[in-house]
Structure 1
């Protein structure tokens, strides 16, 4: 029998693979049916939402800005109109809205003091928006007038020096079955900002009104690589971690610092006192975060509730409340609104930080230390003289009304007003309240100034000046002129809740109408005392003298 070649037998696996490839190719050529993915697509609406609540943007000098606001109010400076130039960044490395940060800093220094009013007008056609275009049209048709600013801010991101110092480390090992690798890198970048204050009338920069500061930001990273082999198989993985300090937060810090320096020098107030606050420590926020994480949920709630109780947002002796308690959530929301936080009614880190930051001080060793509290809750330490340090902090910000005359006056003097001269005042409250202000003439007659027809809502936020009258409005609700010679005054009452339903009928008359049956400041105070509990309201009265108007020249003749 002759020998011959044996034909190979067909392999079933090969044909199966070819058949599977053909099916896949046919499937790829067929369009998808979008209806089959409807249930999957339906989740996109919720999955597109952020998973972290928005928070207020702050810097190390946010508390210093509030300090400056109080300082400017105490100095009784009149309102100053101010503008700003654009802040170019010639390096192109800091893509941030520096001009808007300047406006925010000026606004935060004017909540109480009304120190600055920003004139928003842009002459660059390329930068003008709808509002600016409408302004130009109205100005050209004499339907609008702009007030000339007294000051303007100028400046720029002066330089960005990248990777001033850097360090890199790479190491690895290799064996028959195991390979390892380690890498580490660090670098630092310097950002410089220069700002100046100028006189708008002459378009000259005021000598000495300058600020030139720089801040260091950096980034670092490290990674580990492992690879191994077992027989013919291999495995490889790597882990790493990195951080980068952003340019936006660094620039806001520089802007806030520069504006404090410029305004402090211009107003001639001791601004350095506001820069000495412990909250300006760069490690403050990180230390507060460490304490927050170490406290745990139960400790966080106890600390926040104790702070709210100390500051008067919760009644004394309230005790522990669950997170969903309506009274606790309402107090928390009022506190968040008063402190400029995003109001959520939820005890998050921002609320924890704001509630306890005044109970932290610099220790003898230069580190931040807690005063009167620990991770598990308030543990008030008693000093040698028997006083409580935490109680002293809590008593520093009582519920109060602050009335102030805003007319330009000599320092520490209050000269009499001439008959017919306009009087300007402002009122602020230290907590969210319902505010009622009354004018009492020299004849003892009283009338309500606010709330009124233009501003019917009596509720006001904390640390927001209420102007009486609103001299920045072209159509104020009223004009306050000095009346008959004698003593006039304004009394403001801040109440915890809406007091209108509890006041007598005589007090329910419309605003700017004489109140029958109530005589003088004493009568107003007695009415509130009879209608409200003493713990539900606070008052303040400010008075001034009125002299007869000087005789005119024609009258003398």
Structure 2
């Protein structure tokens, strides 16, 4: 055996063994890293699934109501706002004036412009109907009482909105349910950790309507809603859920925008609910609720019993609604008369109820939930009524005079209560309007800057019908004033009398809110519109307010 050769061979093989050793160590390290990553990924996945499942189960337990509630995925309530706009128009709702100041965040945790969101929602609710006028002001205008005092000193019209809205973000319970799961793995010099968190929070908004007459709470006219914010996985996505009338509304949110987006959705829902309750219209259909839902039926019954407790209120409600459906053309005064009896009996029959003049809950519920466009094709409208016949005996001469007035062309008298025609700056102007027979009266004011606005009918008296026997005083008991401008420049009042209610037949631009400037260039242009709508059957009169 050649020792020299063996030594050389051994010397050659030794570097090869070292390379194999280093290669084996590298493979082991790579395999270990792959195994660690695989285990860590599994741990993260299990953690996420486990935490999401636990939190989701607890959130479900926190919800109130039936387990098999309907589920709707939404992004917002914009379609519901459009639905409300059409509904307010269909039910003849107009001139609802509401003041609202800043809606504060009582929790100090949500940074969102809640009042601005409400203004946007109301704007979308009045695109066609022009039913709601929201008067917004901030903290610099003082409290509600201070604002009302300022309103009394406004030029031309000292107008006090009949309603005030107050509310706030009243609740934010952060992390009412939370689940954490951590996992770690250490091999040699390699350390790897994984964590997953799921949590749920509750956000709530409360809004209430007040009467500005005494700042008392309007019974049943409020909105109280909550949303559950559910963040899951790594926190980059989440879900918000709102429950209303047994329906679960779900919207996906991003972590950065989840809270503000949830606030906007709650505000839109509150706007639908609040003004629907104020106007007593079936707003729940705009959020997909059934007319037979227990909460819906309960609310309809509350409305009915509240009005039935004051017979004049429920009679006036149906007088106005029957007039809108063109089956009644009498006064809206809350007093029973033969015309309203016949109108109610006819509409009850169209709804499948008995032909009798009864204002029952079944009739009220049927009226709210009916498809009135379909019923209109089956009910013959009544013609415009002439002067109301007197129930008391009259002399032959008086009867002849009444008959002549009923067939005579419409005429209108317009002046002041004390026959004053000139006024000093700031003087109150008190008007008297009297048609020669029962008619619908519309009065407009052109100020010293030639701006024209409607001041009757208005938010304080929505019924334009004026009885010849009583006439009309403006402002009378209505909560506004007319005063001569500070410049003592001439102003003009124009009133029109028609045989039927034509306000909703005017162009949309001229059918906006009361006490608001209209796009009419002159009173003559406005008169031409009335002539076109009434086919020339109208009366008109002007009163010029002169300075002393």
**More relative contact order in 1 or in 2 (CA 8 Å, sep 6+)?**
2
Q: Which has the higher helix share?
A: 2
